[in-house]
Amino acid sequence: MASNFEVIAGDPTSHLIVHVPHSARYLPEEVRREILLDDSDLEAELNEMTDSLTAEMVLHATANLAKPPTLFINKFSRLVIDPERFPDEREIMNQVGMGAVYLKSSTGAQLRDPKFDGAGLISQYFNPYAKALTDLVDAKLQECGKALIIDFHSYRNQQHPNAVNHGQARPPVCIGTDSFHTPASLVELAQSQFARFGESVLNQPYAGTYVPLDFYQLDARVYSIMLENRADLLVDQDLNPGPMFDSYSKALAEFITLAANY
Ligand SMILES: [Zn+2]
């Protein structure tokens, strides 16, 4: 069976990991069958929910770096499992039916049967994904003595109707931080590096950053920062590369190079 994620090894001396969890649109046949939307509604939902071209952006930005980071890319849609959500009652998005296995869509429509049991998807896709990323961080700690995760996302210009973050800012750049894992100077570096695209706001409309739970608030050698980008920095209205794709790619390449100092 095909793996739902891909690890592209970088320079062995680089402790950087760029994580791209939401770029893909692929749903295995048997997962598609359990989704209640018809093909055109599913297409619209994927347009809204996919962080379109974020993997392409990261591949583009890192293609010519002297010391490329390791890339960890989700090859399947977040409608299969969302690797960034807690798979249990800790997850705040459970309130709107969008925990690790979504039951509702971004519009609030029923995505899966209300009684759907996500345990199979968790064991088949979520757990192996989380373990592989944990193992990768562990390997970097052993090889380099530290690890830095850059968690890379985009979000749509308009807030989804079914959400918990209504009324928050939707700036061009949102930087997600964690008080334990994100050094203040790394935040400043990100803010200055992406200032050319306009305002950056911390933790709005999306807060926090990804750290595998084995290390979360336990291991200070694991650094992490989330880069959330309003989608118009990356794509045009048809989700093709937008007018700022190249300049954003250049800024991201520079950020990754400078972040290697953390
Ligand atoms: Zn995302």
CA 156 to centroid of ligand 1, rounded, Å = 10
The whole-angstrom separation of Cα 238 and Cα 12 is: 37
CA 206 / ligand 1 centre spacing (Å): 9
> How many angstroms does the Cα of residue 155 sit away from the middle of ligand 1?
7
* Structural domains of the chain in order of their starting residue, each with its CATH number: 5-259 (3.40.630.40)
Share of the chain above pLDDT 90, in %: 90
Ligand 1 centroid from CA 153, angstroms: 4
CA of 151 to the centre of ligand 1 (A): 9
Tens digits of residue pLDDT in 125-147:
999 999 999 999 999 999 999 99
Ligand 1 centre and the CA of 36: distance in Å?
23
pLDDT in tens, 158-175: 888 888 878 888 899 999
24-40: pLDDT as tens digits: 999 999 999 999 999 99
pLDDT in tens, 204-237: 999 999 999 999 999 999 999 999 999 999 999 9
**Centre of ligand 1 from the C-alpha of residue 83, in Å:** 10
pTM recorded for the entire structure: 0.96
Residue 1 is predicted with a pLDDT of 62
Q: Is the pLDDT of residue 9 over 70?
A: yes
> Mean pLDDT of all residues in the chain?
96
